[in-house]
Chain A
Amino acid sequence: MHNTIWSTIFSAGTFNQMFRSATPVALAALGGLMTEHAGIMNIGMDGMILMGAFVGAVASYFLASAFLGVLAAVLFGVLIGLFFALFTVKLKSDEFIIGCALNTFAMGVTAFLSREIFGLSGTSGYAVPSLPVVRIPLIRSIPFVGDILSGHSVFVYATWVLVLLMWLFVYRTPVGLWIRAAGESPETLRTAGKNPERMKWIASILCGVFCGLAGAHLSLGYLNGSFVEGMSASRGYIAFACVIFAAANPPKAYLAALMFGFFDALGLRLQNYISSDLTGTIPYLITIVMMVYVVVSAQKRRERLARQQLLKLE
């Protein structure tokens, strides 16, 4: 019995699922870290993902192309980013309230429109084209590793590239510097002759785009394309936690998302042994533990620094 649980947990399937589950969270986190760097508290990512998922599914269905679906989700993400920036940057409304409003609005409007378009059962029963699966030659034939790394939707691999690109963008491009300066010390940037508000607009739009991608992955990145009400399942909040956990560093945020993905996959595996209602809570519990760890470790680090300073001075 024990042997079977362990072999289930640490099977190739679990790790394969880990990458798949981590991807939408990682994509949203890439967006969230942009707004985080620009000094905007963005808790509206969940709503952005949900709308991205819906727009992706609808466009994919009507245009009969998953790629056009993704494109629509991205374009819609630009709009959402503009909308978010309009309120938080231009009109200087409270970021928290706008984020909340965005989430609530997304829940309502996607549910309403999905019922209007597809009927009560949502998209099930409709053929929504989904993205193809990539089978990497050579690697796919390596035992175990091949099962983990090969056979994902194109999103999983695109995310790897995007993580690296964003890492370069944030830390190694002038615009990345400006966005970080806009968040940390906007007046400094202004006196340097750059407009901090413009940086916040850029960050907000990028956030919309990444959340749109995350949504499109949810509705189009699996074997059968579909939209389910509330399918973002709080991944926007998890992504926000990953951003904080990683101090808005892209590769670290991806690792945090992988951790989420692992426990999500684990929950799915354990459903055979424990009630699925219970296993479903695992990733969220882990998120709480992660956040507590961030706070406690920061406290520990401060105490250690304090002790070192004291020693140095004695």
Chain B
Amino acid sequence: MEEEIRFSHISMEFPGVLANDDISLSIHRGEVFALVGENGAGKSTLMNILYGINEPTAGELFVRGEKVTTFAPKAAIDRGIGMVHQHFMLVPSFTVAQNIVLGHEPRSAAVLFDNRKAEKVTRELVAEYGLEVDPSAEVRDISVGLQQRVEILKTLYRGAQILILDEPTAVLTPQETDELFEVIRRIVREKNMTVIIITHKLYEVMAISDRVGVMRAGKLIGVKNTCEVDERILASMMVGRPVLFDHLDKKGEPGEVAIQVKDLFVADNRGLPAVRGASFAVRKGEVLGIAAIEGNGQSELLEAITGLRKIEKGSVSVCGQPATGKSPGQIRQMGLSHVPEDRLSTGVDKVASVADNLLMGRHKEKRFNLFGFHQRRSTIDRYAQELYDKFDIRGAGIHIPVGSMSGGNMQKVVVAREFTFDTPALIISQPTRGVDIGAMEFFHTRIIERRNAGAAILLSSADLDEVFRLSDRIITLYEGRITGEFKADEITKEEIGFYMTGSRKEADA
């Protein structure tokens, strides 16, 4: 095996943080190398060094034996390194071909951009690598899976020999993920390319990689041949202690209906119909999971139920009371709590303290204020401290602004507040987005605790594994319509994928 890349004692220090701590790692030509680790473990920082976005504060980097001296994306591109970022780097109003050639445009008459040639080059690339996509389509009109292809084609056009993929499957359906892996295998096999894939989905590491490196707290904990490890070993290496992952104890039988949705129509921000005639019910003591690709109406659906979005047609009732057209506050009073999908914009007040965020929604209670206007700080602090400890929130105490905490701890603040309302109905959206494995375990246990205590839980998550783990029943949503309803233990992820993409409907099954 020839060596393609070598990190030699690389350290990267940001003010106050040692993001990479003395990392030495060698990656071979023609292998698929997986880099795993929790959020903040330093994977992205290390890859940003390779792609020239960061210059390391210590250590040396070698590409094909040559020492790297200039750290800039342009220099990295010239060295044959391509990176597909987690957030796609595409210009939405440009065509596929224009996006692919951006920065290295074919020209005619020396100064003019030659669009015809750009499309021809794109068609050639498409044919060579078997990545089917229409060169003249505008990027904003194509699916996320196709946009990712454009990203990969872009790196290939620039002559990449090394391809870095940052969380490439986060936005893909199971089918699209399979297709992506097929592409990765082909470019490695046929073009002898080197692929580095950053991920936190361990079964994907097992499925695609030859070797895997585990990072934790800026250090490289170990490098293994994938065939010699399993998911459990990797998870323990990532967290630094054994992770009990497989057993969630679900108890009890579903009771009465707590959330009832009937023939619901909701519009999105542009006024287009986002939810078209959804009907379902969530019973007490069960978790109903929504499986859908982002942008198929799940966000609007949950916003409509919680009163944050106008209902165009249809009805919602919470614990037997009509909730259609009621304010979010009134709906909360009926017995519905909400862990919103975007914790930063709707879950917390970033600049308010942890204590104030934990108090929100209870500030009118008698025990926290005097005569309705004077806040009893000591009672509030005691209450906040209690939740802080109970939910294992880790940070610099209850008086710091929530915005300065890590994503996982911020989410703990939201969950601590919402779960403590002890309402019969709960809406939970993206409970573990951007949260590391250790904390993920914590959230899952808490959610099942609430379920076993008899709460009706409506769950939405972009992580299909999570939906499967937590749900008793699953509904699939495609373009605002419910395409299927299943018992979670009676269907596979692959089958669900067909319903999520609308290629199969329950009527056909």
Q: Which chain A residues have a beta carbon within 8 Å of chain B's beta carbons?
A: 168, 172-174, 176-178, 180-181, 184-185, 187-194, 302-303, 305-306, 309-310, 313
A309 to B481, CA, bound (A): 14
Give the residues in chain A near B72, CB-CB below 8 Å.
193
A312 to chain B, nearest CB (A): 10
Q: Which of B98-106, B197-205, B226-234, B429-437 contacts its partner?
A: B98-106
> Given A177-B113, A306-B272, A309-B272, are A191 and B91 neighbors across the interface (CB < 8 Å)?
no
A220 to B228, CA, bound (A): 81
Give the residues in chain A near B270, CB-CB below 8 Å.
302, 306
Q: Are A194 and B273 in contact (CB under 8 A)?
A: no
> Given A177-B102, A193-B73, are A185 and B90 neighbors across the interface (CB < 8 Å)?
yes
A20 to B227, CA, bound (A): 77
Q: Mark B436-455, 1 if CB is under 8 A from A, else 0.
A: 00000000000000000000
Could you pull out 25 A-B pairs where Cβ atoms are within 8 angstroms? Answer: A168-B112, A172-B115, A173-B111, A174-B105, A174-B107, A177-B113, A184-B91, A184-B92, A185-B91, A188-B89, A188-B90, A188-B91, A189-B91, A189-B103, A190-B73, A191-B83, A192-B89, A192-B103, A193-B72, A193-B77, A302-B270, A306-B271, A306-B273, A309-B273, A313-B276
Give the residues in chain B near A194, CB-CB below 8 Å.
103
B74 in the interface, Cβ–Cβ < 8 Å? yes
Q: Mark B347-369, 1 if CB is under 8 A from A, else 0.
A: 00000000000000000000000
Q: Are B271 and A303 in contact (CB under 8 A)?
A: yes
Give the residues in chain A near B272, CB-CB below 8 Å.
302, 305-306, 309
Q: Are B94 and A181 in contact (CB under 8 A)?
A: yes
B249 to chain A, nearest CB (A): 42
B260 to chain A, nearest CB (A): 25
- 3 nearest A-B residue pairs (beta carbon): A192-B103, A193-B74, A188-B89
**B237-276 with Cβ < 8 A to chain A:** 270-273, 276
Give the residues in chain A near B276, CB-CB below 8 Å.
313
**B67-107 with Cβ < 8 A to chain A:** 72-74, 77, 83, 85, 89-94, 98-99, 102-105, 107
Which residue of B102, B105, B111 is within 8 Å of A188 (Cβ)?
B102
Give the residues in chain A near B104, CB-CB below 8 Å.
192
B479 in the interface, Cβ–Cβ < 8 Å? yes
Q: In the complex, which of the residues A176, A191, A193 has the most CB atoms of chain B within 10 Å of its own CB atom?
A: A191
A164 to chain B, nearest CB (A): 13
Residue of A nearest to B111 (CB): A173
Give the residues in chain A near B99, CB-CB below 8 Å.
188
Which residue of B102, B105, B271, B479 is within 8 Å of A189 (Cβ)?
B102
Which residue of A192, A309, A310 is within 8 Å of B102 (Cβ)?
A192
Give the residues in chain B near A173, CB-CB below 8 Å.
111-113
Give the residues in chain A near B115, CB-CB below 8 Å.
172
A278 to B40, CA, bound (A): 65
Q: Which chain B residues have a beta carbon within 8 Å of chain A's beta carbons?
A: 72-74, 77, 83, 85, 89-94, 98-99, 102-105, 107, 111-113, 115, 270-273, 276, 479
Q: Are B93 and A177 in contact (CB under 8 A)?
A: no
Which residue of B89, B98, B271 is within 8 Å of A177 (Cβ)?
B98
B47 to chain A, nearest CB (A): 13
* Dominant secondary structure at the B interface: loop
Give the residues in chain A near B98, CB-CB below 8 Å.
177
B391 to chain A, nearest CB (A): 36
Give the residues in chain B near A174, CB-CB below 8 Å.
105, 107, 113
Q: In the complex, which of the residues A185, A190, A306 has the most CB atoms of chain B within 10 Å of its own CB atom?
A: A185
A297 to chain B, nearest CB (A): 14
Residue of B nearest to A187 (CB): B89
A178 to B98, CA, bound (A): 11
A112 to B74, CA, bound (A): 49
B269 to chain A, nearest CB (A): 11
A305 to B141, CA, bound (A): 13
Seed contacts A181-B94, A189-B102; 7 additional CB < 8 Å A-B pairs: A173-B111, A174-B113, A180-B93, A306-B270, A306-B272, A306-B273, A310-B273
Residue of B nearest to A168 (CB): B112
Q: Are A181 and B271 in contact (CB under 8 A)?
A: no
Give the residues in chain B near A313, CB-CB below 8 Å.
276, 479
Q: In the complex, which of the residues B85, B94, B103, B271 has the most CB atoms of chain A within 10 Å of its own CB atom?
A: B103
B482 to chain A, nearest CB (A): 14
A176 to B102, CA, bound (A): 11
Give the residues in chain A near B271, CB-CB below 8 Å.
302-303, 306
A181 to B105, CA, bound (A): 13
A231 to chain B, nearest CB (A): 36
Residue of B nearest to A314 (CB): B276
A305 to B223, CA, bound (A): 52
A186 to chain B, nearest CB (A): 10
A185 to B151, CA, bound (A): 14
Give the residues in chain B near A168, CB-CB below 8 Å.
112
A202 to B98, CA, bound (A): 21
A194 to B73, CA, bound (A): 9
B357 to chain A, nearest CB (A): 30
Q: Are A172 and B112 in contact (CB under 8 A)?
A: yes
B68 to chain A, nearest CB (A): 16
Residue of A nearest to B480 (CB): A313
Q: Are B89 and A184 in contact (CB under 8 A)?
A: no
B151 to chain A, nearest CB (A): 10
A185 to B94, CA, bound (A): 11
Q: Are B113 and A191 in contact (CB under 8 A)?
A: no
A250 to chain B, nearest CB (A): 16
Q: Are B92 and A185 in contact (CB under 8 A)?
A: yes
Q: Are A176 and B85 in contact (CB under 8 A)?
A: no
Give the residues in chain B near A189, CB-CB below 8 Å.
91, 102-103
Q: Are A191 and B73 in contact (CB under 8 A)?
A: yes
Give the residues in chain B near A305, CB-CB below 8 Å.
272
Residue of A nearest to B268 (CB): A306
Give the residues in chain B near A181, CB-CB below 8 Å.
91, 94, 102
A279 to B121, CA, bound (A): 56
Give the residues in chain A near B107, CB-CB below 8 Å.
174
Give the residues in chain B near A193, CB-CB below 8 Å.
72-74, 77, 103
Q: Are B91 and A180 in contact (CB under 8 A)?
A: yes
A313 to chain B, nearest CB (A): 7
Q: In the complex, which of the residues B73, B93, B113 has the most CB atoms of chain A within 10 Å of its own CB atom?
A: B113
Residue of A nearest to B78 (CB): A193
Q: Are B113 and A184 in contact (CB under 8 A)?
A: no
Give the residues in chain B near A185, CB-CB below 8 Å.
89-92
A180 to B272, CA, bound (A): 28
Give the residues in chain B near A187, CB-CB below 8 Å.
89
Give the residues in chain B near A190, CB-CB below 8 Å.
73
A233 to B102, CA, bound (A): 40
